[in-house]
């Protein structure tokens, strides 16, 4: 007896047309992982959509706490963030976070960068807890379980889970298989595994089969929604053509740089 098989490729489509539609079910009080290492890989369009959506009381898990006036900084400025879990909250343009934190408007959990990455990875891998030497002997280890292993002191750390991960990739297909551009990968792949819902913004959606399976950084099984947002303002044909100023605004490249990028 032959059983007709469902053609899976014809029905799976995780594409969402707009960033607003992708984030419109994020609830007040949600824990949200936000990819990015400074500006690199930060999902600006998704964050902007979240600001407009209006969810508040959020816990943000990210490498840093935003800079300038855009992205995470804007979310904090709007009073939507109750707590930040990060490794690098202060930088030369983090005046919005600085004001909010010093005014007691949000809580900060400071986590060493390696511990932050491993706590996120542990959540995605189903690891209940792990021992690390990082933080031993500092205030960051206060109140945490300690253990001596082979004569070295370790502190117990727990995974960080999230309700939603907002991630910025370069390209994806409609199944959610995603690739990143160089260092913009940073926290994206591990955050995609550690959240109940993963939303990925990309420059473009490509046809099934266009991505080399061996080059996929985040498999579609970890992705729930894909939003095409077009090329980044500081990219041209995928090539970096200019930096950003202290406010996070793109710096236009010189004329000869523009010609070289074309």
Report pLDDT digits (tens) over 156-191: 999 999 999 999 999 999 999 999 999 999 999 999
All residues at 6 or more sequence positions from 120 whose CB lies less than 8 Å from its CB, including other chains: 33, 61, 159, 160, 187, 190, 191, 194
Distance CA 188, CA 194 (A): 10
Name the residue range of residue 24's domain: 18-129+159-230
Report pLDDT digits (tens) over 191-221: 999 999 999 999 999 999 999 999 999 999 9
What's the pLDDT at 256?
43
What's the pLDDT at 252?
63
Residue 217: give its domain's CATH number.
3.40.1080.10
What's the pLDDT at 70?
86
Question: How many domains is the chain built from?
Answer: 1
CA 49 to chain centre: 15
Report pLDDT digits (tens) over 74-98: 999 999 999 999 998 888 888 999 9
Look at residue 247 and tell me whether its pLDDT is greater than 90. no
Q: CB of 63 within 8 A of CB of 91?
A: no
Distance CA 130, CA 159 (A): 8
Q: Which two tokens stand for residue 47?
A: 């964050």
When pLDDT is cut at 50, 70 and 90, the band that residue 233 belongs to is low
Report pLDDT digits (tens) over 41-81: 999 999 999 999 999 999 999 999 988 888 899 999 999 99
The string of DSSP codes covering 106-163 is: SEEEE--HHHHHHHHHHHHHT---EEESTTTTSGGGTTS-EEEETTEEEEEE----EE
The answer to the question of residue 251 being in a domain is no
Closest residue by Cα to residue 61 from 88, 30, 84, 36: 84
Report which of residues 231 and 21 the model is more confident about: 21
When pLDDT is cut at 50, 70 and 90, the band that residue 258 belongs to is very low
Report which of residues 237 and 158 the model is more confident about: 158
The answer to the question of residue 135 being in a domain is no
The answer to the question of residue 150 being in a domain is no
Strand ranges in the chain using DSSP code E only, listed in sequence order: 31-34, 58-61, 81-86, 107-110, 130-132, 146-149, 152-157, 162-168, 171-173, 178-179, 195-202, 204-206, 225-228, 235-236, 239-240
What's the pLDDT at 91?
81
What's the pLDDT at 261?
36
Q: CB of 251 within 8 A of CB of 245?
A: yes
Distance CA 227, CA 19 (A): 6
The answer to the question of residue 108 being in a domain is yes
Distance CA 125, CA 191 (A): 11
Percent of the chain with pLDDT over 90: 74
Can you tell me the mean pLDDT for 119-126? 98
The answer to the question of residue 151 being in a domain is no
pTM for the structure as a whole: 0.85
What is the residue whose two structure tokens read 């053609």?
Answer: 7
When pLDDT is cut at 50, 70 and 90, the band that residue 260 belongs to is very low
Distance CA 48, CA 229 (A): 12
């Amino acid at each position: 007896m032959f059983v007709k098989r469902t053609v899976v490729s014809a029905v799976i489509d995780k594409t969402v047309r707009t960033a607003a539609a992708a984030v419109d079910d994020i609830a007040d009080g949600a824990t949200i992982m936000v990819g990015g290492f400074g500006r690199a890989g930060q999902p600006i369009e998704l964050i902007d959509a979240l600001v407009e959506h209006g969810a508040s009381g959020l816990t943000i898990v990210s490498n840093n706490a935003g800079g300038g006036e855009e992205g995470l900084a804007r979310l904090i400025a709007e009073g939507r963030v109750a707590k930040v879990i990060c490794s690098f909250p202060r930088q030369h343009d983090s005046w919005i976070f600085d004001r909010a934190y010093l005014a007691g408007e949000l809580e900060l959990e400071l986590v060493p960068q390696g511990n932050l990455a491993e706590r996120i990875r542990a959540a995605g891998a189903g690891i209940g807890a792990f021992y690390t030497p990082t933080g031993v002997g500092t205030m960051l280890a206060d109140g945490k379980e300690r253990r001596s292993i082979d004569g070295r002191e370790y502190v117990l750390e727990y995974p960080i889970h999230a309700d939603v991960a907002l991630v910025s990739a370069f390209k994806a297909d409609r199944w959610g298989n995603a690739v990143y551009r160089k260092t913009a990968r940073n926290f994206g792949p591990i955050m995609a595994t550690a959240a109940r819902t993963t939303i990925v913004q990309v420059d473009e959606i490509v046809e099934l089969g266009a991505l080399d399976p061996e080059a996929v950084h985040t498999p579609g099984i970890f992705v729930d929604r894909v939003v095409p947002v077009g090329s980044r303002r500081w990219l041209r044909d995928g090539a970096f053509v200019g930096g950003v100023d202290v406010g996070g605004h793109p710096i236009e490249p010189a004329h000869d740089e523009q010609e070289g990028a074309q």
